[in-house]
């Protein structure tokens, strides 16, 4: 298994951005699942739940942009390959 220890600061930032993006994706999908389960059992999502879902999506959008930006800063092809392995 590869490690981030030997990577440049740019690559470490990109990897952390990937982790942040993954976490925000999970949080958004978990919220969507909870709202969907409530809806399927006859409930109606509250305004607060819908606002939370919007907030989680906005957070995820920011994390996707940060990841894209961070990956563009990693110009070394070997580090790119290592990052891809770490993210797999």
Please indicate, yes or no, if residue 71 is contained in any of the structural domains. Answer: yes
Which pTM value belongs to this model? 0.89
6-26 mean pLDDT? 97
In the predicted structure, residue 2 carries a pLDDT above the cut 80: no
Please indicate, yes or no, if residue 1 is contained in any of the structural domains. Answer: no
Please indicate, yes or no, if residue 60 is contained in any of the structural domains. Answer: yes
Please indicate, yes or no, if residue 4 is contained in any of the structural domains. Answer: no
Please indicate, yes or no, if residue 2 is contained in any of the structural domains. Answer: no
Domain count, the chain: 1
Please indicate, yes or no, if residue 62 is contained in any of the structural domains. Answer: yes
pLDDT confidence band for 4 (50 / 70 / 90): confident
What is the extent of the structural domain holding 48? 9-87
- Residue-wise burial string across 28-66, b where 16 or more C-beta atoms lie within 10 A, e elsewhere: beebeeebeeeeeeeeebeeeeeebbeebbebbeebeeb
- pLDDT at position 61: 98
Please indicate, yes or no, if residue 3 is contained in any of the structural domains. Answer: no
């Amino acid at each position: 298994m590869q490690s981030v220890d030997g990577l440049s600061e740019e690559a470490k930032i990109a990897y952390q951005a990937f982790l942040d993006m993954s976490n925000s994706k999970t949080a958004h999908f978990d919220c969507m699942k909870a709202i969907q389960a409530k809806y399927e059992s006859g409930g109606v999502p509250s305004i607060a739940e819908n606002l939370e879902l919007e907030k989680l999506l906005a957070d995820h959008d920011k994390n996707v942009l940060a990841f894209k930006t961070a990956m563009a800063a990693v110009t070394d092809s070997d580090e790119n390959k290592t990052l891809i392995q770490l993210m797999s």
